């Protein structure tokens, strides 16, 4: 599940970084422009202002695009609304996942804090006359012998 969400997020982020065409008001009409093939647009005066001439980022002519009609605008708006709903659903799912992970982390921390190891108290070593006690310490452990 986490992998699917991560892949979806990455694809949305990458898609958001890509140049996408969007309606642009040019000369009183809307045209799809702004993508790599139509970075710059100029009204084609020979076409009765019904289309624009498109140019890429290097100002090379790439073709023309016709003006959008009311149906084209409605389709575009419907697509944008559907995409916004998908993003909202993804944000909601991410919020739920984050809350679940936070709850699991809190539960894990309670378990960790409640199960900390505490060393037992050391028993006193009985002292005998003329006895030498030698102890060897190796980090966490100490071994003593008479």
- DSSP assignment of the chain, as one string? -HHHHHHHHHHHHHHHHS---EEEEETTEEEEE-SGGGSEEEE-GGGTTSEEEEE-TT--EEEEEEPP-HHHHHHHHHHHHHHHHHHHHHHHHHHHHHHHHHHHHHHHHHHHHHT---PPPPPPPPP-TT---EEEEETTEEEEE-
pLDDT at 107 exceeding the cut of 80: yes
What are the residue boundaries of the structural domains of the chain, listed by start?
A: 2-101
Please tell me the predicted confidence (pLDDT) of residue 80: 94
Please tell me the predicted confidence (pLDDT) of residue 10: 47
What is the residue-averaged pLDDT of the chain?
A: 83
pTM of the model: 0.54
Return left, alpha or beta for 17; rule: phi > 0 is left, psi -120 to 50 is alpha, else beta. alpha
Q: Please compute, for residue 96, the number of CA atoms within 13 A of its CA located in the half-sphere on the CB side.
A: 9
């Amino acid at each position: 599940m986490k992998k699917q969400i991560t892949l979806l997020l990455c694809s949305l982020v990458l898609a958001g970084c890509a140049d996408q065409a969007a309606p642009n008001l040019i000369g009183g009409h809307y045209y799809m422009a702004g993508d790599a093939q139509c970075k710059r647009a100029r009204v084609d005066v020979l076409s009765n202002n019904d289309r624009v001439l498109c140019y890429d980022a290097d100002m090379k002519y790439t073709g023309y695009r016709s003006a959008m009609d009311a149906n084209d605008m409605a389709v575009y708006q419907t697509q944008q609304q559907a995409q916004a709903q998908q993003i909202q659903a993804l944000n909601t799912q991410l919020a739920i996942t984050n809350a679940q992970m936070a709850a699991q982390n809190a539960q894990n921390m309670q378990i960790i804090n409640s199960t900390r190891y505490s060393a037992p108290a050391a028993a006193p070593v009985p002292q005998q006359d003329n006895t030498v006690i030698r102890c060897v310490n190796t980090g966490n452990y100490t071994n003593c012998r008479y």
